Amino acid sequence: METRTEMPPVGSRCRGWRAWSAAGVAVATLVAAGVLVGSPPGSAASPGTTPGHRGTVGTDQGPPGGSRPAAASTDVAVAAYPQPGRVAGDIGVHDPTVVKRPEGGYLVAHTGTNVALKTSTDRITFRNAGAVFPGGAPWTTTYTNGSRNLWAPDLSYHNGRYLLYYSASTFGSNRSAIFLATSTTGASGSWTHEGLVVESRTSDNFNAIDPNLTIDDQGRWWLSFGSFWSGIKLVPIDPATGRRSGTAMHSLASYGPGIEAPVIVKRGAWYYLYVSFDRCCQGAASTYRTMVGRSAAPTGPFLDRAGRNMLSGGGTEILASHGSVHGPGHPAVLADHDGDLLFYHYYADNGVSLLGINRIGYDAAGWPYLF
């Protein structure tokens, strides 16, 4: 397993993490203990956990109840963060994305050689499931300088098929591209290359990586993306093709020290924009943290709890380094039968990148918190 420990250049997205190694499997057993404290989220009345307890996020666990930590009125939602929920098996990931399979179970994709896949039946035990493109993806080499390491995928399921947006780039460059692949089964080798969606050149002020597909209340499709440079962007997508529609581009969020990995979800009256601030990929020295803002429209403006515009560096922190959880970020939100969950990666004390999962609750003002 290769792990990069040097600081990336300003404006770069460090992607040094590679496939899970046998040494990492042993680490999986060290993060497997825990019990659920709190009931499933989904409303302002949903309780959370006593901060510091490790949660269980598997589908076979019953919620015995608990007390919600008080939410702060600043950009930090809670003073103490919950431990990641219990997971086991092949849990080495970077930049995870997840979708609920129509036949049951879960499909995970993440940064790795030709885009790595995992499956789970219970949201606790995860197993490696090959690569999206086991034979390679030669159309990406213009952007990767020949590397097969493809970054930051986004999975969704619509109209009987899986959609996978994924990124091709190199460290420190915004000569990048987002591509689309589709599959009816999600299995390794079953994916069809659907073409280029968005690209950026070195003359652009944005970076075309870290995609996330959102469908708004009017049925319009949008793709958010972005990493460093001028921040998070949004473009319209043609539902018939899954590719970009027109030339419009909206700016959603910016943060000078580093911002990337957007996710937009609609809950109630609000579109919530989750992003990662600061630096990933430095092992236990990573400073990644997960932030959120919200807007009445997918195009913004997104404001944090204190009313600050995310275009001006605003954002409410909902997860940051604590204890042996270092640099938690690159979020993905899963709406499951028992409530919303946040999937992310974090680094253990030894620098190994692992899967983190926590439940999402919403306070009386509609702001998300983790438990």
Q: Is 209 annotated as a binding-site member?
A: yes
Name the region of 167 (left: φ>0; alpha: ψ -120 to 50; beta: rest).
beta
Of 75, 90, 199, 260, catalytic: 260
Q: Is 122 annotated as a binding-site member?
A: no
Q: Is 229 annotated as a binding-site member?
A: yes
Q: Is 323 annotated as a binding-site member?
A: no
Q: Is 135 annotated as a binding-site member?
A: no
Of 95, 304, 317, 363, catalytic: 95
Q: Is 349 annotated as a binding-site member?
A: no
Q: Which pairs with CB-CB distance under 8 Å and at least 24 residues apart come from 36-39? A: 36/61, 36/62, 36/63, 36/64, 36/85, 37/64, 37/66, 37/371, 38/63, 38/65, 38/66, 38/68, 38/359, 38/361, 38/371, 39/63, 39/65, 39/66
Query: Is there a catalytic annotation at residue 340?
Result: no
Rounded Cα distance between 67 and 174, Å, is 45
Write down the residue that tokens 């709406």 correspond to.
335
Q: Is 350 annotated as a binding-site member?
A: no
Q: Is 367 annotated as a binding-site member?
A: no
Q: Is 227 annotated as a binding-site member?
A: yes
Q: What is the dihedral of CA 13, 136, 241, 330, to 10 degrees?
A: -30
| Nearest alpha carbon to residue 360 among 346, 341, 345, 343 | 341
Query: Is there a catalytic annotation at residue 60?
Result: no
The set of catalytic residues is 95, 260
**What residue numbers does the annotated binding site cover?**
95, 172, 207-210, 227-229
Binding residues for substrate: 95, 172, 207-210, 227-229
